[in-house]
Amino acid sequence: MSPGSPTALHGWGRTSPSVASVRTPTGAVEVAEAVRGAGDRGVLARGLGRSYGDPAQNAGGTVLDMTRHRGVRRLDVDAAVVEVEAGTSLDELLRVLLGVGLTLPVQPGTRQVSVGGAVAADVHGKNHHVAGSFGAHVRWLDLLTADGEVQRLRPDGPDPELFWGTVGGMGLTGVVLRAELSVRRVETSSVVVTSERHGDLGEVMDALTRLDHEAEYSVAWFDSISRGRGSGRGVVLSGHDARLEELPEADRGAPYAVPPPRSVAVPLVPPASLVNRLSGRAFNELWFRRAPRHPTTGVEHAFGFFQPLDGVASWNRLYGPRGLAQYQLAVPHDAAAVVPAVVAAVAASGHVSCLNVLKRFGPGTPSPLSFPLPGWTLALDLPVAAGLAGLLDRLDAMVLEAGGRVYLAKDSRTPAHHLAAMYPDLPRFAALRRRVDPEGRFASDLARRLGLLTPTPAREAYP
Partner 1 sequence: MMDATGRPQSLLLLGGTSEIGLAVADAWAEQAPGLRVVLAARPGERRDAAAARLEGRGCRVEVHDFDALDDGAHVRVVEKARAGGDVDVAVVAYGVLGDPERAWQDPEEAGRIARTNYTAPVLSGVALAAMVRAQGHGVVVALSSVASERPRRSNFVYGSSKAGMDAFYTGLGEALRPLGGRVLVVRPGFVRSRMTEGLDAAPLAVGPDEVARAVVDGVAAGREQVWVPRPLRPVMSTLRHLPRPVFRRLPL
What 3-state DSSP class applies to 344? helix
95 binds, among partner 1, ligand FAD, none (CB under 5 to 8 A by kind): none
Beta bridge partners of 21: 6, 62
Nearest-CA neighbor of 359 among 371, 377, 386, 373?
377
Other CB atoms within 10 A of residue 317 CB: 18
Q: Rule CB under 8 A: is residue 389 a binding residue for partner 1? A: yes
Selected from 103, 133, 218, 412, the binder of partner 1 by CB under 8 A is: 412
What is the Cα–Cα distance from 164 to 156, expressed in whole angstroms?
Answer: 10
Beta strands 312-313 and 375-383, pairing class: unpaired
Nearest-CA neighbor of 428 among 408, 405, 455, 406?
455
Selected from 23, 43, 49, 54, the binder of partner 1 by CB under 8 A is: 54
Q: Rule CB under 8 A: is residue 50 a binding residue for partner 1? A: no
Stretch that binds ligand FAD, among 38-46, 149-157, 195-203, 261-269 (CB under 6 A): 38-46
Q: Rule CB under 6 A: is residue 45 a binding residue for ligand FAD? A: yes
Selected from 15, 18, 88, 114, the binder of ligand FAD by CB under 6 A is: 114
Selected from 42, 53, 109, 132, the binder of ligand FAD by CB under 6 A is: 109
171 binds, among partner 1, ligand FAD, none (CB under 5 to 8 A by kind): ligand FAD
Quick one: 279 or 314, whose CB is closer to ligand FAD?
A: 314
Nearest-CA neighbor of 230 among 204, 207, 249, 263?
204
Other CB atoms within 10 A of residue 59 CB: 19
Cβ 196 to ligand FAD, closest distance in Å? Answer: 21
Q: Rule CB under 8 A: is residue 394 a binding residue for partner 1? A: no
What is the Cα–Cα distance from 313 to 267, expressed in whole angstroms?
Answer: 9
Selected from 12, 217, 221, 423, the binder of ligand FAD by CB under 6 A is: 12
What is the Cα–Cα distance from 317 to 168, expressed in whole angstroms?
Answer: 27
Write the CB contacts of 254 (distance below 8 Å, at least 6 apart in sequence). none
Stretch that binds ligand FAD, among 145-153, 168-176, 208-216, 415-423 (CB under 6 A): 168-176
In Å, what is the CA distance from 368 to each residue of 136, 169, 265, 436?
14, 8, 37, 15
What is the Cα–Cα distance from 90 to 431, expressed in whole angstroms?
Answer: 32
Cβ 120 to ligand FAD, closest distance in Å? Answer: 3
388 binds, among ligand FAD, partner 1, none (CB under 5 to 8 A by kind): partner 1
Write the CB contacts of 167 (distance below 8 Å, at least 6 apart in sequence). 119, 120, 122, 134, 135, 138, 365, 367, 370
Cβ 322 to ligand FAD, closest distance in Å? Answer: 17
Q: x/- string (CB under 8 A) for partner 1, residues 431-450? A: --------------xx-xx-
Q: Rule CB under 8 A: is residue 13 a binding residue for partner 1? A: yes
- Count residues near ligand FAD (CB under 6 A): 33
Q: What are phi and psi of 94, to 5 degrees?
A: -65, -35
Q: Rule CB under 8 A: is residue 60 a binding residue for partner 1? A: yes
Look up residue 268 and give its DSSP letter: S
- Count residues near partner 1 (CB under 8 A): 37
Cα 279 to chain centroid distance, Å, stands at: 26
Q: Rule CB under 8 A: is residue 8 a binding residue for partner 1? A: yes
Kindly identify the residues of this chain, within the stretch 301-320, that bind ligand FAD according to CB under 6 A: 309
What is the Cα–Cα distance from 380 to 284, expressed in whole angstroms?
Answer: 12
Other CB atoms within 10 A of residue 17 CB: 15
Selected from 50, 129, 137, 317, the binder of ligand FAD by CB under 6 A is: 50
What is the Cα–Cα distance from 57 to 50, expressed in whole angstroms?
Answer: 12
Selected from 20, 181, 207, 219, the binder of partner 1 by CB under 8 A is: 20
322 binds, among ligand FAD, partner 1, none (CB under 5 to 8 A by kind): partner 1
The vertex-140 CA angle with 136 and 141, nearest 5°, equals 105
Length in residues, the chain? 463
Nearest-CA neighbor of 447 among 59, 25, 5?
59
Stretch that binds ligand FAD, among 97-105, 121-129, 249-257, 430-438 (CB under 6 A): 121-129
Cβ 106 to ligand FAD, closest distance in Å? Answer: 8
The contact set with ligand FAD (CB under 6 A) reads: 12, 44-51, 55-56, 66, 86, 108-110, 113-114, 116-118, 120-121, 123-125, 170-171, 175-176, 309, 409, 444
The contact set with partner 1 (CB under 8 A) reads: 6, 8, 13, 15-20, 41, 53-54, 58-61, 321-323, 325, 384, 386, 388-389, 392, 412-413, 415-417, 445-446, 448-449, 460, 462-463
